[in-house]
Amino acid sequence: MMRASLAALLGALFLVFAGGKAYMQVNAAVDIVPHKAFFRPGETATFLVTARGGERAEATITHLAETVAVLDVTLRDGSVALAWTPPPDAPRGYGITVRLLDGDRTLATASTAFDVLERWTQAPRYGFLSEFAPGRDDAQAAIDGLLRYHVNGLQFYDWQYRHETLLPPGDPYTDPLGRRMSLATVERLIDAAHARGIAAMPYTAIYGASPAFYQQHPEWALLQATGKPFEFADGFLIIMDPSPGSPWNAHLLGEFARVLDETAFDGIHIDQYGAPQIGKNAAGERVDLAEVFPAFIDQTAVLVREKRGEAGAVIFNAVRNWPVDTVASSDQDAVYIEVWDPYRDFMDLHRLVVRAQDLGGGKPVILAAYIHPDHRHNVRLANAVIFASGGTHLELGEPGAMLADPYFPKFGAMDADVQATTRRYYDFLVRYEDVLATGTTDATAARGDALLIEGVRTRSLRSRDRVAVIVRQGRDFETFSLVNLLGLDSGEWARPLAGGPDPLDDVALRIYTDRPVARLWWASPDGDNLDAVPVDTAAGRDENGAYVALRLPRLDYWTMIVLEYES
C-alpha cells in the first residue's frame, strides 16, 4: 500500500517519462485506482483513493444502469483504501464513481471501472513492455501505471537472447540488435505484473533463427522453389520449417519448455511475419504454413497446459489477417491480428473483429493497429470502432507510452489529454463489457439498419460522411453504438486526421423493434460522466414497423444506446 505522504504528493503532481519526453500533469482533486487489473470471483475488490482537500469520500458502485452499492469513507492524510466484495458472477464489469466531500458539499468527482473474471483471457486488455535494460528500477511504478487502463496481460516484446535461444547464457546480455538487456529486469517486471494480477507473456517467433544458427542447421530451413532459404529483413533472420515432426519444431518447443520451467511467464506469445506462406522442406516436400501454424499452436497449447494448467495462455499473431481462417479456431486463447493493408479504413477494424469472432467461435479478438498518439483523433476513433465491435486494442504498456510502430521500442509518448481520453475509453470498455463484448454477438448486418438518425446518413460502406451503427446482441438486450465519422478528411485509421468528427447536438433517432422494451439508456466515454443515462422514449409505428423514438443531447465520437427487452 502506498504511504499516505507519498499518496498526497502523487495526488497533486506527477511526471510521466516516455520516449525521452517528460510531461507534467496536475491531477484532479480526487483520483481512484483499482489495486489489481481484475478481480476473481469471491475476491474483495480494493481501490486507492487519493485526494487534495475534503474530509470524506462517497463511492457509488454500478453495474450497467443499476446502483449496487454505496460506500462512505473518511480520508486520512489525503488517501483512503476502499474495499467491496462483488457477487461471484463472471465475467462482469462495474463502474465506481467517487465524490470528494466537505460536509455535504461535493468538491470533486472521479471514476474508474473494474471487472470480475475467472481468468484474464475472458476479457483481455493486452499491453506491452519493451525496455529490459540492466538496472531498470521502476518495475512496480511502471506496472501500477497500467492499472489506470485496466491492462491485464503484457507482451514482453523482444526480451529474448536470440530467436532460436530464448534464455541468455549469462546476465546481462546483448540482443541481436545490440541492445543491452537483463533477465533480472525481465523477472522483476514479471513479479511486479503478477502482484497486480497482470499476466506476463514472452514474445517468440515461430520460425525465425539467426544466420549463424542456420549455418549450423541448414537442413532445418524453409526453402524457396530455387532451394534457397527464405530470409527476413534482408538476411537478419532465416526462416525455419516449423512443421510438426521437423527438427526446428522440436527445438523451438524445447525452448518454450525451458522458458516455462525457468521463468514465471504465464504462457507463450507466438509471432510470424506474414510471409512466406508456402515453401518446401529439405526433402522437397510442400509446406503450407496456413496448415502448419494451427498445428504448431495446438502443440504449444498442450505444452502450456502441462506447465501452467488452465491459467496458461497461448496467443498467435495473424499478420495482415493471415491465416485467420485456419488459426482462429486453433487452441489459442484469443484471436490476435496485426492490421496492415488492405485493411485501411476505420470500418475495416470492425469487419476484422467481427469475422475473427465468428471464425474463433466467440473468442476475444485483439487488434494490433499502430497509431502514433500524436494523432489523437485517429486513436480515439479507432478505439471507438474496435471497442464497440467487442474487440480490444494492443496499444498501451510502457509508462505514458502508446505503440506507434511494429518495432515496439519505437513507441510514442501520450500527452496529458491523450492519457485522460484513453483512460476514459478503457474505463468505459470495462464498465460496460457485459453489453459490448463478453456474452454478446455481432448483429450489425442484421440490425444496423434498424436505427435511423433524422437528417444523417447511417447506411454506407464508407468510413466517413456518416454515423456508423454497430450492433451487439445478448440475452434480452441490444446495444447500438453510434460512431461519428462525419466531417473527417480521411476514412483511413492510419492516415493522420486534421480534426475530429463534426459533433451533432439534439440527435433525434428511431430504433425499429418488435420486442417490448423494458428500459432504454445511453452512455458515452466522451465526457467526464460515464454513467448510464435512462431515456424516456416514445413508441410509434410507420410503414417500416414498430419503433421507439428518442433524443440524445450530443454525439461527439461514440455514444452507446442499450435496449433492455422484457424477458
User: Mean of the per-residue pLDDT values for the chain?
Assistant: 94
**Residue 175 counted as domain residue:** no
Distance (Å, whole) CA 72 – CA 262:
46
Q: Is residue 518 part of a domain?
A: yes
Which CATH number belongs to the domain containing residue 81 in this structure?
A: 2.60.40.10
3-state SS assignment for residue 292: helix
Whole-number Å distance between alpha carbons of 345 and 343: 6
Dist. CA 544–CA 263, nearest whole Å: 61
Tens of pLDDT, residue by residue over 16-46, are: 333 333 333 333 389 999 999 999 999 999 9
Q: Strand, helix or coil at 386?
A: helix
Between helix 376-388 and helix 416-431 the angle, nearest 10°, is 0
Q: What pLDDT is attached to residue 24? A: 32
Is residue 294 included in any domain, yes or no? no
Q: Which residues of 451-482 are buried (b: 16+ CB within 10 A; e: fewer)?
A: bbbeebeeeeeebbebbbbbbbbbeebbbbbb
Return the pLDDT at 215.
97
506 vs 353: CA distance, rounded Å: 31
Tens digit of pLDDT for each residue in 476-507?
Answer: 999 999 999 999 999 999 999 999 999 999 99
Q: What is the pLDDT of residues 221-261, one digit of tens each?
A: 999 999 999 999 999 999 999 999 999 999 999 999 999 99
Q: How many Å apart are CA 71 and CA 106, to the nearest integer?
A: 15
Output phi, psi for 200, to 5 deg: -120, 120
CB 152 within 8 A of CB 38: yes
pLDDT attached to residue 460? 83
Is position 316 within any domain? no
What are the distances in angstroms from CA 555 to CA 348, 471, 494, 524, 538? 22, 17, 23, 9, 20
- The pLDDT of 390-394, averaged and rounded, is 98
- Residue partners of 492: CB distance under 8 A and separation at least 6: 344, 345, 346, 463
Report yes or no on 215 lying in a domain: no
Q: Nearest to residue 449, comparing CAs of 510, 539, 374, 379?
A: 510
pLDDT in tens, 111-146: 999 999 999 999 999 999 999 999 999 999 999 999
In a domain, 124, yes or no: no
pLDDT at position 408 over 50: yes
Give the DSSP letter of residue 76: B
Q: Is the dihedral of CA 289, 292, 297, 300 positive or negative?
A: negative
For β-strands 278-280 and 286-288, DSSP reports them as antiparallel
- CA 214 to CA 237: how far, in whole Å? 9
Give burial (CB, 10 Å; 0-12/13-18/19+) of 340: middle
What digits encode the pLDDT tens for the residues 518-543? 999 999 999 999 999 999 889 999 99
Instruction: Give the model's pLDDT for residue 12.
Output: 34
On whether residue 168 sits in a domain, the answer given is no
pLDDT of residue 567: 83
CA distances from 454 to 20, 38, 467, 510, 551 (A): 48, 41, 11, 8, 10
- Distance of alpha carbon 166 from its chain centroid, rounded? 26
Model confidence at 461, in pLDDT bands (50, 70, 90)?
confident
Residue 66 has pLDDT above 90, yes or no: yes
DSSP characters over 312-346: -EEEEEEETTTTHHHHTTSS-SEEEEE--TT--BH
Give one DSSP letter per residue of 169-237, joined into a string. SSSSEE-TTS-EE-HHHHHHHHHHHHHTT-EEEEEEESSEE-HHHHHH-GGGB-B-TTSPBPEETTTTE
pLDDT at 54: 84
Query: Which of 98, 116, 134 corresponds to the end of one domain?
Result: 116
What is the arithmetic mean of pLDDT over 438-445? 97
Q: Which long-range contacts (CB under 8 A, 24 or more apart) does 7-16 make?
A: 7/48, 7/50, 7/77, 7/78, 7/79, 8/50, 8/52, 8/77, 8/78, 8/79, 10/50, 11/50, 11/51, 11/52, 11/78, 11/79, 12/52, 16/145, 16/399, 16/400, 16/413, 16/414, 16/419
Count how many domains the chain has: 2
Nearest to 346, CA basis, from 294, 373, 382: 382
Pairwise CA distance, residues 145 & 400, whole Å? 8
Share of the chain above pLDDT 90, in %: 91
Domain final residue, candidates 83, 116, 149 = 116
What is the average pLDDT across 347-359? Answer: 98
Residue range(s) defining the domain that contains residue 48: 4-116
**By mean pLDDT, which of 24-28, 272-276, 331-335, 481-485 is the weakest?**
24-28
- Per DSSP, 450 falls in state G
What pLDDT score was predicted for residue 8?
A: 35
Are the C-beta atoms of residues 285 and 241 closer than 8 Å to each other? no
CATH number at residue 453: 2.60.40.1180
Q: 187 near 143, Cβ under 8 Å? A: no
pLDDT at 462: 83
**Who contacts 228 (Cβ-Cβ below 8 Å, separation ≥6)?**
none
d(CA 145, CA 34) in angstroms, rounded, equals 11
The pLDDT assigned to 102 comes to 87
Tell me what the mean pLDDT of segment 35-62 comes to. Answer: 95
Tell me which of 95, 116, 137 is where a domain ends.
116
pLDDT at 298 over 50: yes
Q: Would you put residue 392 in left (φ > 0), alpha (ψ -120 to 50) or beta?
A: beta
In a domain? residue 154: no
C-beta separation of 41 from 90 below 8 A: yes
